[in-house]
Structure 1
Amino acid sequence: MDQKTNSLIIWAPRVMAIFLALFIAVFSLDVFDGTSDIWRVLGGFLIHNIPSMVLAVVIWAAWKREWLGAVVFVLLGMAYMLWNLDAHWSVHAVITAPTILTGLLYLLAWRSRHGLKLAH
């Protein structure tokens, strides 16, 4: 595999995971409604950012351990899907699918780094 492809395989899951964490963090901005006091807003902001903080910890832990990112992101995506079975399909398209895809990209990066062949 050439260097450019290998670099893309290594960096794709990391970049996607960071974008996913930032995308989920955007949903925490709804606490700034202009009617609540500062402590209620800060508390709500912190609580709403727990998923993004968890993803940040997972990204940090998986930086050199791609297998960990593969396992955790796939499990998080599956858990979110099972938790929200009655959600509109668009919810799964923008949250579940990218989360599972990120896990699969981590798996590909792990296999690439360790020279493992993909099954045929």
Structure 2
Amino acid sequence: MSRTVRLIRWRPRVFALSVAGFLALFALDAFEGDATAGEKLFAFFLHLAPTWILLLVAALAWRRERLGAVAFALLTLVYAVWAWPRMDWIAVIGGLLACGAVLYAVAWRMRRKA
């Protein structure tokens, strides 16, 4: 397998983990406000739910790029419906998820050709 093919096949995995890390940063917002420490900790773990979902998808798609492409496309649609009035949110987060779907689809095509 050539170096280029290896890079293309690894890119969606690294991208998925990077997006999960980016989404995890938003969970830190839970520590603001006047809530008790227990409430803040609960809110923090609740805010991490999208990150855990994304990590689960990345783990399931690790060797099944087609599953990753479909799952990221579905996550894009679900997020767009959920955040419909906020087009700026959809552009940033939905755009990242759509890029993940494309990267997984390209990696899947490269695997089929190899």
Cα RMSD between the aligned structures?
1.6
Structure 2: gaps of 5 or more residues: none
* Correspondence for 2:89 among 88, 91, 107: 91
Q: Normalized per residue, which structure has more helix?
A: 2
List structure 1 segments (4+ residues) > 4 angstroms apart after TM superposition.
none
> Which whole-Å CA distance do the structure 2 matches of 1:63 and 1:19 have between them?
14
Who is 1:55 aligned against?
A: 54
> Which whole-Å CA distance do the structure 2 matches of 1:87 and 1:34 have between them?
23
Within 5 A, what are the aligned runs for 1:21-36?
21-33=20-32, 35-36=34-35
Q: Give the Å deviation of 1:19.
A: 0.9
Who is 2:63 aligned against?
A: 64
TM-score (norm 1): 0.87
Q: Does 1:106 align with 2:97?
A: no
Q: Give the Å deviation of 1:92.
A: 2.3
TM-score (norm 2): 0.91
| SS of equivalent residue, structure 1 residue 114 | helix
